[in-house]
Amino acid sequence: MNWEAIGAISQGFGTLAVFITLIYLALQIRHNSEVLEAQIEDAIATGFMSLNATVASNPQLGRIFVQGCEDHDALNAEERIQFNFILRAYGSHYLRMFQLYRQGVLPRDRWEFYGREAAQHFATAGGRAWRSNETNPSFRDFWDEIDRFEIGRVFSLR
158: in domain:
no
Q: pLDDT for 110-143, tens place per residue? A: 999 999 999 998 989 888 888 876 666 778 889 8
95: in domain:
yes
* Predicted model pTM: 0.76
> pLDDT tier at 15 (50, 70, 90 boundaries)?
confident
Distance CA 118, CA 81 (A): 20
86: in domain:
yes
7: in domain:
no
Q: pLDDT for 40-89, tens place per residue? A: 888 898 999 999 999 999 999 999 999 999 988 999 999 999 999 999 99
C-alpha distance across the termini of the chain, in Å: 86
142 burial level (CB within 10 Å; 0-12, 13-18, 19+): buried
Radius of gyration for the chain, computed over Cα atoms and rounded to the nearest angstrom:
25
Beta-carbon count within 10 A of 130 CB: 25
Kindly give, in sequence order, each residue whose CB lies less than 8 Å from that of residue 37, ignoring residues fewer than 6 positions away.
107
What is the domain count for the chain?
Answer: 1
Q: Which range marks the domain in which residue 64 is found? A: 38-146
Q: Where are the alpha helices (DSSP H) in 2-157?
A: 3-56, 59-70, 77-102, 108-121, 125-131, 140-146
> pLDDT tier at 149 (50, 70, 90 boundaries)?
confident
5: in domain:
no
134: in domain:
yes
Distance CA 99, CA 141 (A): 10
Kindly give, in sequence order, each residue whose CB lies less than 8 Å from that of residue 15, ignoring residues fewer than 6 positions away.
none
